[in-house]
Structure 1
């Protein structure tokens, strides 16, 4: 078999970090049982998401969040499974937390953390501190990147990841409208990479979690209240030859502009845009 198997989770998020951690570990075991190499979880899962489960950060048991994270890291090492996990990441008081995705390797190490760069107005003014950097990491020769929720409205983040060589963008979110799905499919098709979309069970009425291919169609979706889907990303899939082997490299070349500048014409019928 070619490619890499990934699992996308759609769990219910609660305000109880202990309950959320237990859910994470249960789904990690299911992902490993399905031979997945990576499992992705929604925005804010471990700690609970501000505006939904969390009204004030003082309500969060940060010791429980830290302990659950350590247990998840230990299980990742045991299962030899990469984990991308949404959670608030506490900073030194009085600074507000980051809205983050923890990147945990199959050795159980916290190898990176993506901090949401573009926060909503409410997030920025009441709940979170912004991050500023993209995050990319490689698993079995495939390159992944991370974005969170409302960042779907900032196309330059998605094109930045294309330039960084990402093959699958992990989009973890807590969406509030159905057009979110349209935007995700468009970013996948425009940038010619997979978009894995992990959402909480609470938003399944808007859209399901799933894996969108480089041509903007779904490779897998979670039906109903299902909590996990496991699917394969394969850059050698002949059905994706056009977006991967032709469209993506052509668009990268076209974006540089040289192929157009070298064919510019010196013709008054070109320069005069008011003539018939």
Structure 2
């Protein structure tokens, strides 16, 4: 709060001295971007986050096609509203159900039989999404299952499709639930960072909302916005967790969930100050909301220009070597 008051005082003092508006004076206190990761404010970018219905049976070709049509309809809406990038929830094409996929099911949960997955139909929908991304010049983040070779289980992944219609990169979920790890997927190994118009993005998937160290990892990598796609986070409060990760790391965090979960946790984007910029309707309907990622608002400016640099400086002062030589410092029972 003290930093907040001091910052506002400095901005008002400049405005009074120069005759500028508060907003014009605020721009003076934003650092000039530099090549160093995270050293300056990101360029403004319009981001769309979607919520779509999720199907759990990958054997149902008609359902896969319907999912693809819904994704493409929201891509068009996002583009019409000026979005540069659109993000979809985990399972946007299909979220294979553990009972449906179980080779010993549906009564029991066992190893997944991935021959049941209609790979050709799913790939056709992904290809159509990529074609539309190129047509609309719209970066599209679309979660889907990524098939591996041989006996390896697939990854649960997020494809990042560029505005040229090509897969720019892919993120594979690293922190798998017990069921996912035991019966369904192979874990990913590394974070993924990509850049659009000067804004750096990181990706997280599924239950990774429960791992604050993953958000902190992206902060150290100079990411401006973390894109988190999930089918639901239970137990836990996804809204509170999203706002907490945004505030604790001075990041934008975009949460994309299925439309079915929107009555309790609609898709939305949290600002670096820990407030929602906007959210989709909480009525179970497919929808997209569009926000601008910049630090034009005061809370975001404080978080990006003050809080994040202060946090990094504080972390850098933690000593790596041995502590003081004073014996009283080492005696934990020395008393008052």
Using structure 1 for the length normalisation, give the TM-score: 0.91
Q: Deviations over 1:134-181 (max 9, x none)?
A: 111111110001001211222221111001111000000011435232
Cα distance in 2, alignment partners of residues 60 and 271 from structure 1? 61
Query: Contact 2:50–2:256 at 8 Å: present in 1 too?
Result: yes
CA RMSD of aligned residues (A): 2.2
Q: Deviations over 1:190-243 (max 9, x none)?
A: 110000000001212331110011111101011223411111110343332221
Residues 1-276 of structure 1 mapped to structure 2, 5 A cutoff: 3-14=44-55, 15=57, 16-51=63-98, 56-177=113-234, 178-223=236-281, 224-226=283-285, 227-257=287-317, 270-273=329-332, 274-276=334-336
Range 13-22 or range 242-251, more displaced = 13-22
Q: Deviations over 1:6-41 (max 9, x none)?
A: 111001012422111111111100000000000000
Cα distance in 1, alignment partners of residues 99 and 293 from structure 2? 32
How far the C-alpha of 1:59 sits from its partner, in A, is 2.7
Cα distance in 2, alignment partners of residues 5 and 54 from structure 1? 38
Query: Contact 2:260–2:284 at 8 Å: present in 1 too?
Result: no
Range 159-168 or range 54-63, more displaced = 54-63
Cα gap change, 1:140/1:53 in structure 2, threshold over 3 Å: closer, same or farther?
Answer: farther
Q: Deviations over 1:243-274 (max 9, x none)?
A: 1111101111111225x789x87766655442
Cα distance in 2, alignment partners of residues 79 and 185 from structure 1? 31
Cα distance in 2, alignment partners of residues 257 and 240 from structure 1? 25
Cα distance in 2, alignment partners of residues 156 and 136 from structure 1? 16
Cα distance in 1, alignment partners of residues 65 and 261 from structure 2? 22
- What's the secondary structure of 1:43's corresponding residue? coil
Number of aligned residue pairs: give it: 273
Cα distance in 2, alignment partners of residues 267 and 246 from structure 1? 35
- What's the secondary structure of 1:174's corresponding residue? coil
- What's the secondary structure of 2:69's corresponding residue? helix
5+ long unaligned stretches in structure 2: 1-42, 58-62, 103-112
Cα distance in 2, alignment partners of residues 269 and 74 from structure 1? 69
Cα distance in 1, alignment partners of residues 198 and 213 from structure 2? 25
- What's the secondary structure of 1:92's corresponding residue? coil
Cα distance in 2, alignment partners of residues 205 and 34 from structure 1? 24
5+ long unaligned stretches in structure 1: none
Query: Contact 2:272–2:299 at 8 Å: present in 1 too?
Result: no
Cα gap change, 1:271/1:91 in structure 2, threshold over 3 Å: closer, same or farther?
Answer: closer
Cα distance in 1, alignment partners of residues 96 and 306 from structure 2? 40
